[in-house]
Structure 1
Amino acid sequence: MAVGIAGNNRHAADEEARAEVDVLNSRLEKTTQLTKKIQACLGRLEATGKSVRDVAGPLNGETKKLQVLGHNIDHVLSAIERLRQPVDSKNDEEQTIRMGPDKAGLTNYLASIKRLTKAVNDMKASNLRSTQQTVADLQRLIKLGNSQLESSFDRILRAETPRSIEPLHYITKNQQFPLLSQDKINRLGLMNSYISGASRQAGTEPPVAQIYAEVRSQYLAASLANLAAASTNTAKKQNPDAIYRAGASGIGTYAQAMEGLFLAEYENICIIFVREEWGPVLQATCQTALVELSRTLRELNNHIKAHINTDCYLAYEIVEIISGLSNNLESRTGELKSSLAACLKPVRETAKASLAELLEETKRKASGLQSLPADGSPVPIISDTMQRLQSMVGFLRPISSIMVSLGHGGWNSPGSSRGGNDAIPSLSSFDIGADGKEIFAHYCADTVEGLMVSLESRAKVLLAKRPTIGVFLANSVTIIERMIIDSDLQPLMESRIQILEQWRKKASALYVQETCRNLSVHLMDVIHTSRGQRPTSGQGAVDSASIMKGLSSKDKENIKAKFLAFNQGFDEMVKTHKQYSMEREVRQRFAKGMQSVIEPMYGRFWDRYHEIDKGKGKYVKYDKSSIAAIFLTLY
């Protein structure tokens, strides 16, 4: 029984295992079937996805193309909208432009032109054929606007510019010359700023600068016209031989007015125009006035050349005044120096040439003298020449600049006064160590020397006696020296006045030596005595009586003749000396010179031989004290 039970248990377990296997097999079969279904679904799905891709791919590309096209369309619409704006606003802008800057208001007017200009530039950049007509219309409108701006600039400027003003009013009251009114000058500046910018972009010359120069140049020239005429009229003296005096011409006031007007004009220009335009506009504006200045100076130059002896000083004054004007304007504006130098050149050349001409004229006049005073009196050319040099000192500043340009002795060089350089000399064009005053002193010394040489040459021809020549030269030297010492020439010629000492010695030699030689021959004695009777010099007082005793009758007669000849010659000398016309200094110098020679010789002769007539005075007319007294009367 137990075995059966065990068998039954195993059979039940096997059945249970088989049942489980059957269940597993059934599930496996279902899994296989499910897998096949899934594979079939995947196959169908793959086939469907391929179809979807085949369909969706082109659709996606077209979608992207449509997106790009839509974006481009949006841009085109936006551009068209922008292009439509100026077209749409054309009527408004045209209305503003046609109103003009005065009615529309300058700020609104300029803004309208700028908007139109920007619209034209945008249309040109789009390069659309459909906008070409609109561009042309807007360009015509812009051109009209610019033209009206220029007309408005011209109209405002002319309304603000008087025909002329009276410069003397501002000079005498020490007032600044008038400027354009502040509101108008600011308005003109705004106009110029736009117009000049537009012109620079177009590569053309700004028309506003030309308008300004045309209007204001007429005003400057008209304001200066009367002073220009006065400058030439005042140069024409009633007495043609009168020496020109500093300040007698109106050229100083003319230059002062020109400086004031030009500087005021420069202030206007600096406000209206940009920096790079200041110089050219000032040059153009002042040109008409400078042409008139050039004409005036040429007329004055012709007058000076025709009256060089009396009016050379006017040339020096003009050089100083116009050079000062040039320097002042150049320091304030940086302009007009070369223009003023060109105007001044003829007068400056005449001023340089005058130095040599006056020196040669002095020599020529002195050498051409047809007669000289028989009493040795000085001639007028001496004082005339020295007065001319004295007058030159009053114009020392311009003369110094001319002297430096000539250099030492430059007035003696042919063509030294000619030059091709129009520039007004500056320090850089000269020798740094040159001293114009020292060179002028050299010129004065050359003038004095040339005068004295010429006078001596004529005196030798026209005056027969050497003493008369000596008196004439001594008088000339004394007058020259006096006119140097008593004037502003003295400090200038202090180091060169020694040239007169040479002429003073020459004059003394001609007069004193010649006169003393004629007298001293009568005081020379050659006495033949025995050795025992000859008096020994240096042994006390001379005993005239004992000397007389030792003389032969022939020697005594010779001594008597010498006394008589001396008496006659001395009396003649005294008479002649008093008849000469001598300057006080000359008379004293000559008298002292003769006394220093004759008195010692006569004293020696008198000591030895005065006993010849035993004090009767028949032969010995003068003793030592009386002859000394007579010399004192000659001083």
Structure 2
Amino acid sequence: MVAMRKGAFAEESAEVEVLFANMEKMKSLTKKIQGSMNRLETSGKTVEDAVRPIYGNTAKLQTTNTNIDKIIDAIDRLRAPLDQTDREERIIKAGPRKGEVRDYISALDRLTVALSDLKRSNLRSNQDAINKYSALTRQGAKNLEDVFRDELRQASARTVDGLEYVVKNNPFPIISQETQSTLRIINQHISNSVAQTSQSDGRETPTQRIYAEIRGEYLVNSLRTLAAATISTARKVQADAIYKRKSNGIETYTKAIEGLFLAEYESICPIFARNEWGALCAATCQASLREFEKTLRELNQHIIRNLLTDCFLGYEVVGFVSKLSITLESKTGELKRPIYDAVKPIRETSKASLGKLLDDTRTRVQTLVALPMDGAPVPVTRDTMTRLQAMTDYLDLPESDGLSSILTSLGSGGWNAATANTSSSSLPTMKSFDVGADGRKLFMEYASDTIDTLLQNLEGKAKMLLKGKNLQGVFIANNVCIINETIQSSTLLRPHLQGLTGKLQSWSKRGTAMYLDAWREPSGHLLDVQYTNRSGRPHSGGGATESAAIVKGLSSKDKDAIKEKFKSFNASFDDLVSRHKSYNMEKEVRQQLGREVQTIIEPLYGRFWDRYHEIDKGKGKYVKYDKSQLGATLASLA
């Protein structure tokens, strides 16, 4: 057992020794590996220090290579337009008429891009090319402007006859679509070029300037004949003739302006940008509007020289021109102010004319040195009503409402003051556009003032120049009748002056009262004294028996008084009947006054005759008329 244990221990001891031996070898190997690692680390550092500068240089070389490639590409791009110079130059120098305008503009666009690239390069070597390209660009733009001008001139070579288009109600011609297309392409290129080179957004382009110049001349030439016709048709053949509605050429002139201007606006829209339409239309129409303003100034001078007869022309002009301005403003957004500036002198003259007409009515009556001795109406009454009737032609008609706008701008009673409600602005006030009921109401007020002025002055003149209230009454009644007849017989005047019925009735009653004042004398002779406290007094209406009884009961003095009353009545009555028949009365006046006299005299005479006709026992010495004879005589007065 001991031997066995020793053997086992010896074996284990040998293994331990082997293990220790291996461990020594491992330590030795570890030391060697550690030494190798140290040497490797040292070598790595040495390599890293050596490689780092090489890597940095390599990255720099790569960046440099990239930059060089970019420079080469830029040079290639710079050289590319230079290579095309000859081709673009040939196209531009040949001009746009040698080929399609689009191709020409494309060549200009390519040249413009090349020029921009050259300028960005900032290379002195390219300066000559830049100068050459700039000169070619300017030449190309000039050539395009020439084409634009020539196309417009060709489209504007033939002016139109405005009268023919207005009379036939034909639409005015516009620039053809083909020409519009060419002009639009050229304008777009030139506008873009101006926008790129100009710092001002509102700068006028050459194409706008050319268009306004050429088409403006076209409009002037197309309207020149109508402007001359407007002046010539204003000339008077008879100095005292009242202007007749639409006898002047202003309506045709304004309609031609409207048609031509709207046609021009229609031509502008397809060619130019939307924000340019209004301003360019105004610039194009400017020369025509100056001629229009000149024409209206000449018309105004004519109206001033013939104010009392041709103020109606002023109302017509204001109406047509106002309508023109509103139409153009609504469709173009422009031209309202210059048109109102043009018509302002005539508007002011027309305002003043209303007061002048009133003054003329007053003056014409006051300067009368005599009145008709038969009570006939005076011509000034018919003339005044003719004026008022003529005014209705310019009141609120669809084609001409000039008088309404003038009345509403003056306001109530404004015609009585020289400077009433005038505005320093050339544009009318807002109430000037209220041409409906207010315009009619103001016209009735103006007509009422006119009639009052006329009748008041006629009444004053009659009291001065006519003897007797009966003649004065006939005179007033006749003139009132003329006024009323004119109103009722006029389909235009009647609707506007129906409100004056009460005023005219008042004046008619005044004339009637003046006339009947003379009949107080014969009426007074038919009045007698009756004593109601006496019993047994017979009643009237009892026939000859009653009259005989009444006369028998009278004293000699009373009988003589009754006889004198009959004689005085007969003389006064016969005189008034004779006068009545000698007066020149309008039919209605004669009937009215005759009825009024009969209403007063017949019942008085009938009562008086019933009581006292037996005063001369039927001999007719004192009682000239029986009741039937008197009634027939009175009936003959109507």
TM-score by length of 2: 0.91
Assess if the C-alpha contact under 8 Å between 1:97 and 1:141 holds in 2: yes
Please tell me whether the aligned partners of residues 300 and 349 of structure 2 are also in contact (alpha carbons under 8 angstroms): yes
| Contact 1:352-1:417 at 8 Å conserved across structures | no
For the Cα contact (< 8 Å) 1:411–1:417, is it kept in 2? no
> Which structure has the larger Rg?
1
Q: Describe the superposition over 1:442-463 as per-residue Cα deviations: whole angstroms up to 9, x where unpaired.
A: 2112111110011111111111
CA distance in 1 between partners of 2:274 and 2:534 (Å): 112
Give 1:233-312 correspondences, 5 Å limit: 233-312=232-311
The one of 63, 71, 75 equivalent to 1:68 is: 63
Could you tell which deviates more after superposition, 84-93 or 588-597? 84-93
Alignment check: 8 A CA contact 1:349 1:417 kept? no
Q: Does residue 413 of structure 2 align to residue 409 of structure 1?
A: yes
Counterpart residue number, 1:588: 591
- Which amino acid in structure 2 is aligned with residue 535 of structure 1? R
Question: Quick one: distance in 1 between partners of 2:483 and 2:45?
Answer: 134
- Which letter maps to 2:501? I
Of 45, 48, 64 in structure 2, the residue corresponding to residue 53 of structure 1 is 48
Mapped contact 1:367–1:454 kept (Cα < 8 A): yes
Q: Displacement of 1:573 after TM fit? A: 1.4
Structure 1 segment 121-132 matched on structure 2, within 5 A: 121-132=116-127
SS at match of 1:414: coil
Contact persistence 1:220–1:261 (CA under 8 A): yes
Q: Distance in 2 between matches of 1:232 and 1:313?
A: 15
In 1, distance between residues paired with 2:513 and 2:31? 164
- Cα distance in structure 2, aligned partners of 1:524 and 1:315: 62
Match of 1:558 among 554, 561, 586: 561
8 Å CA contact retained: 2:95, 2:143: yes
Asked whether the 8 Å contact 2:405–2:432 carries over to 1, the reply is no
**Residue 348 of structure 2 corresponds to residue 353 of structure 1:** no
Alignment of 1:17-28 (within 5 A): none
Query: Do the aligned residues in 1 keep the contact of 2:371 with 2:466 (CA within 8 Å)?
Result: yes
Q: Are residues 424 and 94 of structure 1, via their aligned partners in 2, closer, same or farther at CA, if it must alter by over 3 Å? A: farther
2:439 maps to amino acid: G
Is 1:342 the equivalent of 2:341?
A: yes
Contact conserved, 1:163 with 1:222, CA < 8 A, in 2?
A: no
1:497 and 2:501 correspond: yes
Deviation of residue 471 (structure 1)? Answer: 0.8
* Aligned counterpart for 1:184 among listed residues 171, 179, 184: 179
CA 1:241/1:32 → structure 2, altered by over 3 Å: closer, same or farther?
A: same
Q: Quickly say closer, same or farther: Cα 1:62–1:506, change in 2 above 3 A.
A: same
Deviation at 1:32, TM superposition (A): 5.2
2:68 alignment partner, SS class = helix
The answer as to whether partners of 1:150 and 1:208 remain within 8 angstroms in 2 is: yes
Work out the CA distance in 1 between the residues paired with 2:533 and 2:282: 103
User: What percentage of residue pairs aligned between the two structures are identical?
Assistant: 47
Q: CA 1:369–1:32 in 2, change beyond 3 Å: closer, same or farther?
A: same
1:98 to 93, 99, 102: 93
Partner of 2:105: 110
Residue 571 of structure 2 corresponds to residue 572 of structure 1: no
1:326 and 2:325 equivalent?
Answer: yes
Q: Which residue does 1:79 correspond to in 2?
A: 74
Matched residue SS, 1:372: coil
1:128-527 pair list within 5 angstroms: 128-201=123-196, 202=198, 203=200, 204-397=203-396, 398=401, 399-416=403-420, 418-423=422-427, 435-488=438-491, 489-514=493-518, 516-526=519-529
- 2:192 is matched by which residue type in structure 1? G
The letter of the residue matching 1:319 is V
Q: CA deviation at 1:497?
A: 1.8
1:629 to 2:632 alignment: yes
Which deviates more from structure 2 when the two are superposed, residues 281-290 or residues 78-87? 78-87
Paired with 1:221 and 1:425, the residues of 2 have a C-alpha distance of 31
* TM-superposed deviation, 1:45: 2.7
- The 1:497/1:421 distance shift into structure 2, 3 A limit, reads farther
Unaligned ranges ≥5, structure 2: none
Residue 496 of structure 1 aligns to a residue whose secondary structure is: helix
Relative to the length of structure 1, the TM-score reads 0.92
Matched, 1:618 2:621: yes
Which position in structure 2 is the counterpart of 1:609? Answer: 612
Whole-angstrom CA distance in 2 between matches of 1:254 and 1:446: 35
Compare 23-32 and 403-412 and name the one that shifted more.
23-32
Contact 2:375 2:584 in 1 (8 A): yes
Question: One-letter code of the match for 1:64?
Answer: A
Distance 1:531 1:153, change over 3 A: closer
Contact 1:301-1:315 at 8 Å conserved across structures: yes
Does the C-alpha gap of structure 1 residues 66 and 553 become closer, same or farther in structure 2, counting only changes over 3 Å? Answer: same
Provide the C-alpha distance between the structure 2 equivalents of 1:627 and 1:132, rounded to a whole number of angstroms.
126
Distance 1:610 1:82, change over 3 A: same
Equivalent position to 1:535, from 525, 529, 537: 537
Give the superposition deviation at 1:288: 0.7
Query: Distance in 2 between the 1:16 and 1:588 partners?
Result: 181
- Asked if the contact 1:471/1:507 (under 8 Å) is kept, the reply is yes
Residue 497 of structure 1 aligns to a residue whose secondary structure is: helix
CA distance in 2, matches of 1:531, 1:433: 69
Contact conserved, 1:263 with 1:329, CA < 8 A, in 2?
yes
Deviation for aligned residue 1:265: 0.8
CA distance in 2, matches of 1:573, 1:387: 34
Q: Is the CA contact 1:478–1:583 (under 8 Å) kept in the aligned structure 2?
A: yes
Are the equivalent residues in 2 in contact too, given 1:341–1:423 (CA < 8 A)? yes
CA contact (8 A) 2:409 2:428 kept: no
Q: Note closer, same or farther for the CA distance 1:362–1:38 as it changes in structure 2 (3 Å cut).
A: same
1:625 and 1:28 map into 2 onto residues whose CA distance is: 185
Q: 1:239 to 1:35 in 2, by over 3 A?
A: same
Contact 1:349/1:419 (CA < 8 Å) preserved in 2? no
Displacement, 1:277?
A: 0.5
1:353/1:417 contact within 8 Å kept: no
Pick which of 486-495 and 92-101 moved more.
92-101
SS of residue paired to 2:589: helix
Unaligned runs of 5+ in 1: none
What is the count of residue pairs matched by the alignment? 627
Deviation of the 1:507 alpha carbon: 0.9
The AA in structure 1 aligned to 2:153 is R
Q: Is the 8 A contact 1:177 1:260 kept in 2?
A: yes
- Partner-residue secondary structure (3-state), 1:247: coil
Mean Cα deviation higher: 588-597 or 258-267: 588-597
Query: Which has the larger displacement, 447-456 or 47-56?
Result: 47-56
Question: For structure 1, which segment, 579-588 or 218-227, has the greater mean C-alpha deviation from structure 2 after superposition?
Answer: 579-588
Note the aligned Cα RMSD (angstroms). Answer: 2.8
